[in-house]
Structures are given as structure tokens and as C-alpha cells.
Structure 1
Amino acid sequence: MKPYHPSSGLRTGLDFLICADWTPGQALAVVEILDDLRERIWNHYQLSLFDLIREDRSLSGESLPDDEWTDEPPF
């Protein structure tokens, strides 16, 4: 099993326990709620989040796909 690397980058803190005996339907319900929450947050903060992501990636040296955009296909 691969180690879990959260997107937050946090390596310490309190564990978040998830019940191990959920039914597949219960697990799907939670995933759907999280998807809805993520979509609502993104829709409200979209431009600000995009700016933060761009800033974070530029500080880490990563480039975003549109930084090297050309009219030519990559192949």
C-alpha cells in the first residue's frame, strides 16, 4: 500500500477516522456530499483560488499548462 500524501502537505495533526463498516451506499453518499461542497466552494472562490494556485506553483517552480501554451499540438 502506498503512503497517503494529503494535498494540504500536512504530515502531523489529528487523525481523521472513518468508520470501516460503511456500506458502499453510505460511502457514496459521503463522496457525493464532498463533491457538492467542493463545487460550491470552487464556484464561490474560483478566481481567488486560481490566483492562489498559480502563486503557489510559481513559488515552487512548477509551471501551469497555459504558461507554455502554443498553437502547435504537443506531439
Structure 2
Amino acid sequence: MKRLDHQPSGITRGLDFLIPDNWSPAQALAVVELIDDLRERIATHYQIPLNKLMREQRAPPDNPHPRDIDDPF
């Protein structure tokens, strides 16, 4: 299985999604517009829970350097 690099989702494993290399510019634009419309519809419907989840996922850990009082090291 080929490794998927640099996905916006951060996913690095899975099935390859092949995009034909012979699309016309108009076909490619139609797909981009479809994806944009889908993203907008999802974001509009789930705006508040999506924003909350993204804030939680991007927030720094509560205590990135916990100290165990019983363990000096």
C-alpha cells in the first residue's frame, strides 16, 4: 500500500483515491466546486460543534509537563 503524504486531515494510511490525469480544466473545476459546496453545506449545518471540536483538538494539553512529586526525575 502506498503511503499518503500531506493530507489536510493528517491521515497517512488508507486507500489511494485516484484522480484521472486526463480531466479537462472544466471537469476539474466542476469537482472543486462540488467539494467546495459540500464543505460549505456541512460547515453551515455543523458550525458550532465543528468549531468546538477544532478548538479542542488544537488546544495545548492541560498540563504538558506534569510533575510527579514523589519522583524527582
TM-score norm. by structure 1 comes to 0.72
For residues 44-55 of structure 1, what are the structure 2 equivalents within 5 Å? 44-55=45-56
8 Å contact from structure 2 (residues 5, 12) kept in 1: no
Q: Give 1:5-16 correspondences, 5 Å limit.
A: 5-16=6-17
Aligned counterparts of 2:61 and 2:33: Cα–Cα separation in 1? 32
Counterpart for residue 59 of structure 2:
58
Cα root mean square deviation, aligned? 1.9
Q: 1:25 maps to what in 2? A: 26
Aligned length: 59
Asked which structure has the greater RCO (Cα within 8 Å, sep 6+), the reply is: 2
Whole-Å separation in 2 of the counterparts to 1:44 and 1:20? 33
1:38 aligned onto 2:36: no
Report the Cα offset of residue 7 of structure 1.
Answer: 1.7
Q: Which runs of 5+ in 1 are unaligned?
A: 62-75
Structure 1 segments (4+ residues) deviating >2 Å: none
